[in-house]
Amino acid sequence: MFNTKMPMRDMFGKALLELGSKNSDVVVLTADLTDAIKTTLFSKAFPDRFFQMGIKESDMVGTAAGMAIDGLIPFVTTFAAFATSLANQSVRVSMGYNEANVKLTSSHGGICVGGDGATHQSFEDIALMRLIPGMTIVVPCDANEAYNATFSVAKYIGPVYLRLGRIPTPVITKLDDRFEIGHAKVLREGNDIAIVANGMMVAFALEAADALASDGIQARVINMHTVKPLDISVLKSAVDECSAIVTAEEHTIIGGLGGAVSEYIGSYNPIPIERVGVKDTFGESGWPDEILKKYGLTANDIANSARRVLTRKIGRSFS
């Protein structure tokens, strides 16, 4: 369906380089993963503002907090598992509680990291970050959105978690699309059901919507790129107008986008909902396509969930 694929982290690296020349307060920190998070361009162009911290993520986040407290705009970069879980105490207190203007940026967020396996797959990172008061969480859906989000994140004042994936994923947005933190995008109209997705699952959500359309089901597709704060107005319209929701994310169904949307629906208006995502389990080694299939994160899984939710909404079978 989408011909061009590109890793989000590549465009993050490009945006960072441009940011560096526009704003001399922007600094970048790495923990021995320069090329993995694509900060190489920045490091070469602005060696004075690039800090190699070695393999010590807690120290890196704490150092960045100090820089932010003193007025700089640090982008802290490492794998999602280490940014949010290993360094969690530094993120919680030095960054979060201090309201330090740190931009915690991860690559390898999600389940598609390849053969490295469970320890390197991070699909609880968004939940961990949601638990920190005042944290803004941005999950771009493709490389172009990652590019645009990087500028918004830099401009925004306050702690941010910017979550990027490892592998090349379908490019579905354009470079000149507008991106605003906290403002979700309706990518496809429809009133039978709403699919609320983020990250690379947005592409699968659009594919699922196509499949559903051939069965006469009109699905609204929402790109909820900001998980915190959620765009309540877009979500409320989806609940009011579609009365059935499926969430889709490359994350555990506990505590991430699906969790956040369920919490909202639970207190606003409990309509039928299903969450597509990783179940309560650790991951394993394997190629992305095999893994997505095994863990139930395909367009097909979204479409099947949609049919089940519609059955609950209308009371007749759609499968």
Ligand X SMILES: Cc1ncc(C[n+]2csc(CCOP(=O)(O)OP(=O)(O)O)c2C)c(N)n1
Active-site amino acid positions: 57
What does the block give as tokens for 118? 């469970």
Which of 12, 82, 161, 179 touches other proteins by CB under 8 A? 82
Binding interface with ligand X (CB under 6 A) = 32-33, 55, 82, 86
Residue type, 142: D
Residue type, 289: D
Q: Nearest approach, Cβ of 92 to ligand X (angstroms)?
A: 18
Burial status of residue 313 (CB atoms within 10 A of its CB: 0-12, 13-18, 19 or more): middle
Helix (H) or strand (E) holding 211: helix 201-213
By CB under 8 A, which span of 68-76, 115-123, 206-214, 301-309 interacts with other proteins?
115-123
Which of 10, 25, 59, 180 touches other proteins by CB under 8 A? 59
Q: Nearest approach, Cβ of 57 to ligand X (angstroms)?
A: 6
Coil vs helix vs strand at 26:
strand
What does the block give as tokens for 195? 């699919």
Which of 56, 92, 308, 313 touches other proteins by CB under 8 A? 56
CB nearer to other proteins: pick between 121 and 305: 121
Which of 41, 69, 86, 93 touches other proteins by CB under 8 A? 86
Bridge partners of 162, per DSSP, are 105, 138
Say which entry of ligand X, other proteins, none residue 177 contacts (CB below 5 to 8 A, set by partner kind): none
Contact criterion met (CB below 8 Å) for 104 and 95: yes
88 near other proteins (CB under 8 A): no
98 near other proteins (CB under 8 A): no
Q: Nearest approach, Cβ of 171 to other proteins (angstroms)?
A: 24
Say which entry of ligand X, other proteins, none residue 35 contacts (CB below 5 to 8 A, set by partner kind): other proteins
User: Is the torsion defined by CA of 226, 231, 232, 234 positive or negative?
Assistant: negative
What is the residue-wise DSSP string for 65-128? HHHHHTT-EEEEEEEHHIIIIITHHIIIIIIIITT---EEEEESBBS---TT-GGG-BSSHHHH
Q: Nearest approach, Cβ of 33 to ligand X (angstroms)?
A: 6
Say which entry of other proteins, ligand X, none residue 23 contacts (CB below 5 to 8 A, set by partner kind): none
What is the four-CA torsion angle of 221, 223, 228, 233, rounded to 10 degrees? Answer: -50
CB nearer to other proteins: pick between 167 and 171: 167
CB nearer to other proteins: pick between 29 and 153: 29
Which of 34, 63, 136, 226 touches other proteins by CB under 8 A? 34
119 near other proteins (CB under 8 A): yes
Which residues inside 179-238 make contact with other proteins, applying CB under 8 A?
Answer: none
CB nearer to other proteins: pick between 9 and 220: 9
By CB under 8 A, which span of 64-72, 131-139, 279-287, 310-318 interacts with other proteins?
279-287
What does the block give as tokens for 61? 């986040």
Q: Nearest approach, Cβ of 292 to ligand X (angstroms)?
A: 23
Residue 290 CA: distances (Å) to CA of 99, 100, 119, 207, 297: 40, 40, 18, 18, 10
Q: What are phi and psi of 11, to 5 degrees?
A: -75, -25
Query: Using N-to-C axis directions, what is the helix angle for 299-314 and 201-213, rounded to 10°?
Result: 60
Binding footprint of other proteins on the chain (CB under 8 A): 30, 32-36, 52-56, 58-59, 81-82, 86, 114-120, 282, 284-287, 290-291, 294
